[in-house]
Amino acid sequence: MEIDGIGSDINAGDTADGEDSSAELNSSRNVVVDLRDFIGVNKWHGRRKYKDARTWKQRIQRFNNAWASIITELVDEYICWKYNSKPSTCSPSDSWEFSIEIIDVHSLTRQTTIYRDSETKATSALVRAGYLPASPESPSVAVSLRTLELFYAMRLFKPNFSVEAFAKMVCYLHSEPYRRTYRTALSDTFDIYLAILRKVESRVAKELGHDSPDYRALNSCPPCTYELEGEPPQTFSRMVVVDGNNSLKRLDGVGKREVADTRVFGESDYYLSEEFVNLYADEVPARPLPKPAVEVEEDFTEDVVQGKYGDPTDGDSDPALRECTDNWKASDAEGAKKMWDAFRESGYFVMACRHGFVMWVVDMIRSGELAKYPLAMVAKALKVFGSHWLLGYDIGCSFGGTIRRSSLGPEFDKKKCRTCVNAFHGYAHCALCQQIYHPLNICGMGLEDLETLEHLFSSSNQLASITRYMSPYRRRVFIDLFLQQWDREKYQNLATMLHNNYVQALDVLEYELPSFEADIQALGLTKGDLDAYIAEESHHFATLGSETAEDLHAVAYVELLRKYKEVNTAYENSSTNFRLHTPLDYQFLSDAASYNANLSEGRKTETRRHYLLEQRDKILFEIVQLEMVMNVHRRWDPSDLEYKQAVEYLNTRKYRRALERLQKLVVQRLFELHKMNLSNTGTALQRRSAAIRNAVKTYNAAALSLDPPRDTLDWSKVSHFTFLDQFNILQDTRHSVFDQPWAKPVVRSLMKQHCQIERAREEIIHCNIGIRRLHTSIVDEEKNFDIALQKLNDAPLFGPVSDYVRRRKAVNALLLARIHQTYNLPGFTGDFTPGKRKGSTDPLETCTTVPQACPDPESDNGEDEDDDEFIDGVGAMVDFMSSMSVQ
């Protein structure tokens, strides 16, 4: 029936676009009426009206199945229309012609006539003529492919540009009032247009040899993956970073209402399947929710949903990193409130390389950052990548322990991989954690901050407004489309990024190194001294606030001596008490009564004596064991110096522990803020005030309990202290930091400067390797392009492949120009010629000369490319914040 054909034009309206969610819930009957009015069809045409008994879900499924059955034909026709300049052999005299309403933003025509022969389907004829129908069967409206190309290009560079906005623009150009049917037709046809493009891209990839498993992850970033022969060794073969973003949520159905569009988007090599992720769901059980961290003023845990699956920190048991874990849980608590019932996909979790290329993504399903998401990423990386790679995560310190306690631990250690924290996020971690896991303190990392995903998330947040109400299928389609364009832009800006990194490292060595060497010479220090200070600082923070084994043993030994004396005295008294003393309440009793009473009393006395004897022997055994551990040759006496010192420490133990805790917080916070250049703000401690405020209260209570009482602290004054010398009371601690040379402000600045200079030298090596890898990959790629085009010759795929090659060569030309600008830097120390890829046996894959397509580096007429998009926009603020670690 013609009515059925018309109705099928709007079957996908259920998931057309995100911003029109209320309209999506309207009944299909109203939509059909609107479309009939639009194309001028009467309601009845003299025919009986039958009620369609199919559900909306069934209609959508039939609609999608019909498209799937003809998609291959449409791909062939699209390639013919796009790349074949030969005119159609079908003439009006021997064809079946039909007219159809069209949407064309270029010609602004409303109707066209299509010619086809008897063996050609209407849909194929439409695509061959340059139009894509809105329905696979009996189409009544079509959209020109040029219009869809325009919308596709707009979506690439403006991800939040919706179908509805584009439909309204088309209506405005046509001088027509906007109707929802226009948006429905555009949305449905754009779905199929994207499917056609994906099929074409897969064919092109097959012809170029880019269709092997995990090809994109293994080849998308040449500086990370294109290893050459004769390269200097690197500490880390590659650096990747993982993190989650909860902006791209998608609302779940209301009640038991199911989404009508049940398609599953499985054509993306970015997404890891939900089944694969769930393999690691039980690796880490959830810990009981901790009490709110002392730094957090509000109690977020009341609304937190406690699941059965653990988060990335639940698998680690290192008490030294517990503070970092608590801080992360506290900051994540607000995002873990009871809102998951409203969303099915609560965001997405991503892995990317240090240069910004996305490796894989997974959807977070009704949860925050559970451990299974990063563990699935690690499992995939262990399978695909080689050894000695580094993983950055904002809780990388704790997550490293989680990996090692999971089933991935043996393989992770076997490949000698490790974790670290991101540079900017790392400043929220404790000082001890920063000494081990901060990029500035890790040898071999260069000037890398690993804040790559902050740039990605700030850009992908544009999708949030249109994906919130989409079907799962369309949400993934548009995220995949965004990620493809993101990687294309990252590749185009790759040489510029390496160039800027090289310049940054050269500036550090040019401006920082001379002053650094002059300063250490003036202080009589060497670089070896600074390395020793860094190691001493790490050891100090590892033991700060903890009691030594000697103190604990001495206190336990004295307590046992005291207890032994008390029990021994009680035992001796119980042995002679009945014979030596007559009770004051003595009464004369008969012989029988006296005998029974004395027998009962004697049994009690004997039982108590046996009990005390056993207690005395048990305590004596523990004393002997401790004496062996402490190497005590003569038992301590209350008159001995060691005994007196232990008693003094025992009496002030609570005070000492409170003071040590206060010192640990104060010293760590000031040192952390010093690294961020914030120690002179006047409110240095107020940012983490709650923890220190509680420590001050505990200290004051312990100080007042002593005899005589010790001095107390006034929080209103403490919160404005910015230097250690203002905390005179901290000199009373057993682990005083005042006498440590590395605690002096001048020395600490030199230690940080020393790390920056060492990382800058490493960055020079990284850039030399990365630039040469990129140069070699471009030369080899263009050779392979020529070979592939020669093989295709006049084949149907020659057009799509040549189109891809032409665009790629244009980008490569820009990259080569920037590479040669890097070669011309005054301090460049790398190799100017391309190399040979490891494992390459085909001589055509290597070349030692620069291709003619490479432009002269001096021919840019002084144009500065520093205004590239990768340093513009919202990401510029993150660039500034993350650069604090290396500036």
Average pLDDT over residues 774-782: 95
Q: How many CB atoms lie within 10 A of CB 302?
A: 11
Question: Which pLDDT score, from 0 to 100, does residue 867 have?
Answer: 41
pLDDT of 796 strictly over 80: yes
> Which pLDDT belongs to residue 430?
73
Q: Please give the pLDDT value at position 739.
A: 63
User: Quick one: pLDDT band at residue 18, thresholds 50, 70, 90?
Assistant: very low
> Among the ranges 600-609, 663-672, 722-731, which has the highest mean pLDDT value?
600-609
What global pTM score does this model have? 0.73
- H/E element holding 477? helix 472-492
Does position 846 have pLDDT exceeding 70, yes or no? no
> Is the pLDDT score of 498 beyond 50?
yes
Q: Is the pLDDT confidence value at 114 over 90? A: no
Q: Order of strands, edge to edge, in the sheet holding 131-133?
A: 111-116, 96-103, 141-144, 131-133
pLDDT for res 12: 38
More confident residue, 702 or 843: 702
Query: What confidence score (pLDDT) does residue 71 get?
Result: 93
- pLDDT at position 352, please? 96
pLDDT at 207 over 70: yes
pLDDT band at 92 (very low <50, low <70, confident <90, very high): low
Note the pLDDT tens digit of each residue in 247-261. 888 887 766 566 777
Strand ranges, E, within 393-495: 418-420
Q: What is the mean pLDDT of the chain?
A: 76
Query: What share of the chain in percent tops pLDDT 90?
Result: 37
Q: Using pLDDT thresholds of 50, 70 and 90, give the confidence band for residue 269.
A: very high
Q: Are 251 and 469 in contact (CB under 8 A)?
A: yes
Band of residue 547 on the pLDDT scale cut at 50, 70, 90: low
The closest alpha carbon to 390, from 336, 448, 311, 345, belongs to 448
> How far does CA 75 lie from the centroid of its chain?
37
Tally of CA atoms within 13 A in the half-sphere of 250 that contains its CB: 24
How large a percentage of the chain has pLDDT more than 70? 66
Give residue 836's pLDDT. 93
pLDDT class of 612 with cuts at 50, 70, 90: confident
User: Which pLDDT value is given to residue 359?
Assistant: 96
Which is nearest to 469 in space by CA: 250, 287, 631? 250
pLDDT in tens, 681-732: 444 344 455 666 676 777 667 666 666 676 666 656 555 554 444 444 444 4
Model confidence at 491, pLDDT cuts 50, 70, 90, reads: very high
pLDDT, residue 324, reads 72
Beta strands 389-392 and 141-144 are unpaired
pLDDT digits (tens, 9 = 90+) for 27-84: 333 333 343 343 344 444 455 555 666 777 788 888 888 898 999 999 999 999 998 8
Cβ contacts of 118-124, under 8 Å, gap ≥ 24: 120/90, 121/70, 121/73, 122/98, 123/70, 123/73, 123/74, 124/70, 124/73, 124/74, 124/77
Distance CA 455, CA 448 (A): 14
Q: Higher confidence at residue 176 or residue 311?
A: 176
Stretch among 36-50, 112-126, 166-180, 336-350 having the lowest mean pLDDT: 36-50
The DSSP 8-state label assigned to residue 111 in this structure reads E
Separation of alpha carbons 118 and 96, rounded Å: 7
pLDDT of residue 736: 52
- What is the average per-residue pLDDT within 117-127? 87
Q: Where is average pLDDT lowest: 318-322, 550-554, 833-837, 863-867? A: 863-867
Kindly tell me if the per-residue pLDDT of 380 is higher than 70: yes
Mean pLDDT, to the nearest integer, of 848-853?
Answer: 39
pLDDT of residue 703: 63
Q: How many Cα atoms occupy the beta-carbon half-sphere of 341 within 13 Å?
A: 8
